[in-house]
Amino acid sequence: MKTSRKRTRDYEVKVTPPTDSPSRTFCGSICKAAPFSDDPEAVAEWHRCDYTTKITAEVAKAGTAKRPVRVYADGIYDLFHQGHARQLMQAKSMFPNVYLIVGVNGDTLTHAKKGRTVMSEDERYDAVRHCRYVDEVVRDAPWQLEDHFLSRHKIDLVAHDDEPYLTGVGGVDAYALVKRRGMFVATERTGGVSTSDLVARIVKDYDVYVRRNLARGYSAKELNVSFLREKKLMIQEKVDKLKDKSKRMFETIDERKSDMICKWEEKSRDFIDAFLLLFGREGRLQHMLTESRGRLLHALSPPGSPSRNSTSSSDDCDEVLSPPVKTARYEISPSSSHTLRVHPTNGDFSENEDL
């Protein structure tokens, strides 16, 4: 028996294909979409299955089944996301040698039972058949499983989460029949993600997505938006872009300001070091300032002219250069006791006899 290698993201494992397994899954990688239930490949697999040999959950877990275990999972699969993929992965890997059949509900039944979907039935069929864990897709699957559907598709076990899925007015569990027969195997739901959660996110940020699509070229008619609302949203989009641009500009200015301050500090340290190196650290600058001040005062106050008799002594120079002394005589006028008369004379000062 030949073996092939199926490469995963982080490791490589050897996979030994069963003899009656379809070749789609074991071509080195999953290289084409899963067939629909009425495609020749799925029909050929249906004919190879010996449904007279019943396979229970215990036999499937023990790995003693003589043929692939045909496990069925169903759902709406609107906005196919990682929660759906995880459910199908659990169903595929629940037992050794599983042939996974996935039923997808059609638009008519889904809209009547649950409400409007985002994706059409054809889009949902195509999304599921491109999941790597799926071997076959049943279109327009029933809402509640019955005997004729189980036998027609040769279903051994049904995989779904364990919570009751109530239908109809009476609230009957859609998987009540397979649970009574022991054909039900439970999978775990992925918390925090569902189609309803995704729709709620879109509704919450409705304006954001409308503005985005208008900016990408969608018309207001395609988005079911009025003319006034379209203009309002376009103006809001321009305002938000301007705010983002201004924010980035201020952030750039702050970064440049920080760089300028750092550079100024570095330059100031270099300037101080050069200043101290030039003028010294022990009063050289003060000495230079004092010396400069003396030179400035000397320049502003030049020395006096030389004397006429250069051979005379310093006393003679002082005597010659000193101005003549003038004497005066003060008299008080007889008309007023407060009047003082001054008579210049060559002698000493003398007071009037009347004084």
Output the pLDDT for position 123. Answer: 97
Residue 30 bridge partners (DSSP): none
What does the domain layout of the chain look like in residue ranges?
31-196, 205-259
Contact 74, 160 (CB under 8 A): yes
Output the pLDDT for position 263. Answer: 76
Output the pLDDT for position 5. Answer: 38
Q: With 70 as the cut, is the pLDDT of residue 144 above it?
A: yes
- Any residues with CB less than 8 A from the CB of 103 and at least 6 apart, and which? 72, 73, 74, 75, 137, 138, 141, 142
Mean per-residue pLDDT, 292-310: 64
* More confident of the two residues 6 and 249: 249
* More confident of the two residues 264 and 316: 264
Task: Read off the pTM.
Answer: 0.60
* More confident of the two residues 271 and 178: 178
- pLDDT band of residue 226 (cuts 50, 70, 90) is confident
Q: With 60 as the cut, is the pLDDT of residue 147 above it?
A: yes
Write out the CATH class of domain 31-196.
alpha beta
Give whole-number Cα distances, 203 to 18, 196, 200, 232, in Å: 47, 10, 5, 18
